Structure 1
């Protein structure tokens, strides 16, 4: 089966006319509170296994924006992972 051979400019124009263009929100943003704090020592030293539950917990904070572009509404998700259970 032969693939479609379309010009990338034509595909881009069709996407824009039908309002299918995705907007990228991949701007790297640093929280001001993090820049003030000291960096903690690396206590794991690449040993990511635990012998018992609640011995090693890791977390990450993600920001999700919603609503209109002019209204800055955000929610934060901070999952905690126990390295014993993975």
Structure 2
């Protein structure tokens, strides 16, 4: 069967890049954003690098801290498909 699935890594990389860009635009340190969202600095760094999946709860908190709608993290996302 040759079904395709959206690459989880591609969405994680996209969200991480959007998160970092907005954090830097707002001139927040990684430590500040970690504190505002209730996660550890290591967790935030992993999310920004695309190595960890952002939970819905984290995305809602990050959106509030960064003054954006939660959909901001998904804007311009182009899914990469992989063979399943």
TM range (shorter): under 0.3
Q: Which has the higher helix share?
A: 2
Q: Relative contact order (C-alpha < 8 Å, sep 6+): which is higher?
A: 2
The alignment's TM-score, normalised by the length of structure 1, stands at: 0.25
The alignment's TM-score, normalised by the length of structure 2, stands at: 0.26
Structure (1 or 2) with the larger CA radius of gyration:
1
